[in-house]
C-alpha cells in the first residue's frame, strides 16, 4: 500500500495513477481539511500527521509513503523512516526544501543559479540586506508560503516596517531576495528514483494571475539553449537537495535567456497537469513509479502543444460546475474536476487541458472550455 | 452519485473516468465477488442486487445507475427506475440483450445482419433446426454465456445429445445458430445519450485464444466499405435495442467483406480498452458522459495504431505481478493492473496497450510488455 500525506487534488490525481498500476492507496489526511482524494480510494487515515497512533497505523499498512504537500512536520516523516517505511521525498530533504532559506542555501552552495538572498530576523536585517540587494526587495516567509501568500514586495525603505509586521504575523521566520526583472516564468519537472534513474519533463511557461498559476503552455517557447540549461539545472537541483519522487522547479527567465530558480516544490505540481494528456507518462504516474522505485516512463510530449488553464472558484458554497456540458463540447479539451465539497473564491476546483498542433490554438481551446464552467 | 452494478475491472475503469469529471461513484457489488472497483472509491454497497433494502439505499444515494455486467436481474433495474433513478441501459433493454435469442430476434427484425438462428427447447428442436441451418451448428445458452462458456460447437448429429445435456446443466434455455465461416473477428463500440447524441468508435480486430480475447488491433485493417458498414450496423443496432450508454458489437468478417453481428455487450468492453491511450475520449469516459446525458467526446484515434493484450493469470494465489518493472521499460506500452485479490488460471488480471505508428510495431510492443508480466 502506498500512503499519501494530504488529501487534495495532487493526492487525488496521484491516486488515479497508482490504481491504474494496481497499487492500493491510503490517503493520510487531516479531518479538518476537505479531502477530495479520500473519495477515490477505499482507505483513508484521518488524523493529525504528527499523532503517533496515526503514524503507527500508517507504518503498519503502508510500505511506501509520499506527500502532496511539503508543509508536513519532517519529524513525522523521520518517525516513519525509523519504522522502516520508505519515505520519498525523505524527511531530510523535506526539512530543507520547506524552509526557503535553507533551500536557497543548498542550491547556491551547489553552484545553481538563484537570486541573491539573505535571512532577515529583524527589520534592521532587511534594511541592511537592501544595501547589497537593492530595491525593490522580495520579503518572504521562509515557511508555509504558497500562491503568493507569504510574499511581500518592498518597493522602498518605507515598506519594510509594515511588510515585516504583516508577514511576521504568519508565524514564520523571514528572508529577503533581490527582485528579479524576469521576462517570463517557467517551470520544469524532474523525477528521480531512489536507485538513481532520473527523467526531466519539457520546460513549460507558466502565466500567473494575482500570484496564482492561471495558464501553463507546453512546451515553453524558448531557445534550445534555455531548454538545455533548465534541464541541467533541474537535474543538478535533485542532487543538491537529495530529491526522490517528482519535483517542480519554478524558474525566472531573464532577458538574456538565462534562468534563475525561483522555488522548488518536492511533489507533483500544477504546472505539469498538462502531462496527463500531453506526455507519454503523466507527472503523477512517474511520481508513483519513482517512489515505488519502478522504471520511469517517457516524459516526451505526444502532441505538438498543450495548454492548461486552472478552474478557480468565483463564489462560496457547494460547487455545481455550471457549464460543464458546454465545456465538454470543446474539441481537444479535457476537463478535470477535483470533487471538492465547497467552493470559495480563488480556490482551485479543477483544470482544463487542451492538446493540439500549436500553442495559439490550444491556449484558445483551453480558455474557451474553462470559461464555460462556473464554480 | 453514479452507481455502478458490479465491482470488476470495467466498473473500476469507469470509476476512474467519473472521478476525473468530479462525479462521485458508488460500487454496488456482491460480497461473494472479488470487487477491485470497490478499492478505487470510498462508497460501496455490498449485497444482493435484488435485495430491496440494498436497492432502497442505492435509490436514496444514486441519481444514475449503470452496470458493468449485463447479467443482472432486470426486475432490480425496473425497481430502481420506478423509484425515479435513471438507469442506463434500461431494464427493458437489458432484459432483451441478456437473452441472446431475444437479442437476435430484435436485430433480425430490424433488418440487421445476424447468423440464422432458432430457439431450441429440446434435443429434437436442435435436430430439426439443423435441417435448415446445416452442420456444424453453434449451440448456445441464451443467458449467462461469456468468453466461450455456454457455447458448444456441434459438428455432427452425434454431438447434439451430449452438447445439449452439457449446456442444459448451466440452467439456461438454449438456442442454435448457423456456423459462420468468418475470416476474422471484429468489434465496434457505439455510445448513445438518452437525449439521442451518438458516437461510434473505430472498428477493431479482436484475436481470441481459447474463446478469450487475447489481442485487439486498432484500427482494424479492413476496407472503407466494411468500416462504414460496421458503423451503420452499430448505430442501427442501438435503435433496435433501445440502447443508452456504451455498447460493444462483436462481429464476424466474411470473405466478401460483409459483417454479421455475433453478440452485443451493453457496457464497456475489453475490445475498447485501447481507447484509454489511443482515442481522444476513452470508452469509459464516454460511457460515463452518456449515462449522465453529458455531451460525448471525440472517439477519434489520436495515434496511428494501437494494440491491446490481456494479462491473464497462469496460476492460482495472490497476484504479485512479477516482471512489472521490465514491462514498464517497454516504450509506447502502458500497463494496467486491476488490483484483483487473487489469481486463478485464465483470469483477466490486467492489460497492456501499446501505441505507435503502425499495427505491426504496436502488436510487438504490447506482446513484449505483456510477456514480461507473470500473474
The tens-digit pLDDT sequence of chain A (375 residues) is: 999 999 999 999 999 999 999 999 999 999 999 999 999 999 999 999 889 999 999 999 999 999 999 999 999 999 999 999 999 999 999 999 999 999 999 999 999 999 999 999 999 999 999 999 999 999 999 998 777 788 999 999 999 999 999 998 888 899 999 999 999 999 999 999 999 999 999 999 999 887 778 999 999 999 999 999 999 999 999 999 999 999 999 999 999 999 999 999 999 999 999 999 999 999 999 999 999 999 999 999 999 999 999 999 999 998 888 899 999 999 999 999 999 999 999 999 999 999 999 999 999 999 999 999 998
B24 interfaces chain A, CB cutoff of 8 Å: yes
> Over 90: is that where the pLDDT of B122 sits?
yes
**Secondary structure letter of residue B22 according to DSSP:** T
Instruction: Select the more confidently predicted residue: A193 or B148.
Output: A193
Read off the pLDDT band of B144 (50, 70, 90): confident
A332 contacts chain B (CB < 8 A): yes
User: Which of A22, A280, A339 has its CB closest to that of B339?
Assistant: A22
Q: Which residues fall within 8 angstroms of residue B189, CB to CB, at 6 or more apart? A: B200, B201, B234, B246, B247, B248, B249, B269, B271, B272, B275, B283, B299
In chain B, the largest separation of any two C-alpha atoms, in whole Å, equals 58
Rounded Cα gap, residues A327 and A305, in angstroms: 19
Cell triple for residue A202?
519539457
**For residue B127, what are the contacts with CB-CB under 8 A and spacing of at least 6?**
B157, B160
Contacts of B321 in chain A (CB under 8 A): 22
Chain B residues whose beta carbon lies within 8 Å of the beta carbon of residue A37: none
Q: What is the DSSP letter of B322?
A: B
pLDDT at B210 over 80: no
- The confidence score (pLDDT) of residue B208 equals 87
CB contact under 8 A, B328 and A42: no
Distance from CA of B292 to the nearest CA of A (A): 10
Model pLDDT for residues B257-304, shown as the tens digit of each residue: 999 999 999 999 999 999 999 999 999 999 999 999 999 999 999 999
- Model-level ipTM above the cut of 0.90: yes
Which residues touch A267 (CB under 8 Å, ≥6 apart)?
A10, A66, A67, A68, A69, A70, A89, A245, A246, A247, A248, A287
- At residue B93, does pLDDT exceed 90? yes
The structure's pTM equals 0.95
pLDDT of res. A320? 85
Q: Which of B10-19, B144-153, B218-227, B341-350 has the lowest mean pLDDT?
A: B144-153
Q: Are B108 and B116 in contact (CB under 8 A)?
A: no
pLDDT (0 to 100) of residue A142: 94
Task: Give me the pLDDT at residue B166, please.
Answer: 92
How does pLDDT run across A198-232, given as a tens digit for each residue?
Answer: 999 999 999 988 777 899 999 999 999 999 999 99
Closest Cα in chain A, distance from residue B350 (Å): 9
Residue B211 has pLDDT above 90, yes or no: no
Does B138 reach chain A within 8 Å, measured CB to CB?
A: no
Q: Between B187 and A213, whose confidence is greater?
A: B187
Q: Give B16→chain A minimum CA distance, Å.
A: 7
Q: Is A3 exposed, middle or buried (0-12, 13-18, 19+ CB in 10 A)?
A: buried
Mean pLDDT confidence for B191-206: 98
Give the model's pLDDT for residue A209: 84
Statement: residue B307 has pLDDT above 80: yes
Average pLDDT over all residues of chain B: 96
Amino acid at each position: 500500500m502506498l500512503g499519501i500525506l494530504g488529501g487534495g487534488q495532487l493526492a487525488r490525481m496521484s491516486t488515479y495513477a497508482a490504481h491504474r498500476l494496481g497499487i492500493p492507496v491510503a490517503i493520510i489526511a487531516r479531518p479538518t481539511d476537505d479531502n477530495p482524494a479520500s473519495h477515490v480510494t477505499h482507505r483513508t487515515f484521518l488524523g493529525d500527521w504528527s499523532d503517533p497512533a496515526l503514524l503507527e497505523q500508517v507504518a503498519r499498512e503502508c510500505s511506501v509513503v509520499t506527500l502532496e504537500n511539503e508543509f508536513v512536520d519532517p519529524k513525522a516523516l523521520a518517525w516513519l523512516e525509523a519504522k522502516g517505511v520508505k519515505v520519498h521525498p525523505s524527511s531530510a530533504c523535506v526539512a530543507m526544501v520547506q524552509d526557503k532559506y535553507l533551500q536557497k542555501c543548498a542550491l547556491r552552495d551547489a553552484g545553481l543559479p538563484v537570486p541573491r538572498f539573505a535571512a532577515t530576523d529583524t527589520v534592521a536585517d532587511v534594511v541592511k540586506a537592501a544595501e547589497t540587494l537593492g530595491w525593490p526587495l522580495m520579503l518572504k516567509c521562509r515557511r508555509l508560503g504558497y500562491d503568493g501568500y507569504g510574499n511581500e514586495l518592498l518597493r522602498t525603505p518605507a515598506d519594510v516596517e509594515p511588510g515585516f509586521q504583516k508577514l511576521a504575523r504568519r508565524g514564520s521566520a523571514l528572508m529577503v531576495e533581490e527582485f528579479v526583472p524576469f521576462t517570463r516564468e517557467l517551470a520544469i519537472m524532474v523525477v528521480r528514483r531512489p536507485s538513481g534513474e532520473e527523467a526531466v519533463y519539457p520546460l513549460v511557461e507558466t502565466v500567473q494571475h494575482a500570484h496564482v498559476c492561471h495558464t501553463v503552455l507546453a512546451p515553453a517557447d524558448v531557445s534550445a539553449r534555455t531548454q538545455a540549461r533548465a534541464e541541467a539545472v533541474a537535474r543538478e537541483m535533485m542532487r543538491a537537495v537529495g530529491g526522490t519522487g517528482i519535483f517542480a522547479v519554478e524558474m525566472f527567465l531573464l532577458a538574456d535567456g538565462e534562468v534563475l530558480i525561483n522555488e522548488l516544490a518536492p511533489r507533483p505540481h500544477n504546472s505539469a497537469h498538462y502531462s496527463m494528456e500531453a506526455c507519454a507518462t503523466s507527472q503523477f504516474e512517474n511520481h508513483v513509479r519513482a517512489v515505488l522505485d519502478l522504471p520511469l516512463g517517457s516524459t516526451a510530449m505526444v502532441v505538438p502543444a498543450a495548454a492548461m488553464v486552472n478552474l478557480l472558484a468565483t463564489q462560496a458554497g457547494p460547487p455545481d460546475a455550471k457549464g460543464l456540458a458546454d465545456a465538454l463540447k470543446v474539441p481537444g479539451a479535457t476537463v478535470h474536476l477535483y470533487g471538492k465539497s465547497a467552493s470559495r473564491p480563488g480556490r482551485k476546483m479543477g483544470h482544463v487541458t487542451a492538446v493540439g498542433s500549436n500553442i495559439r490554438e490550444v491556449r484558445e481551446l483551453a480558455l474557451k472550455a474553462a470559461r464555460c464552467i462556473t464554480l
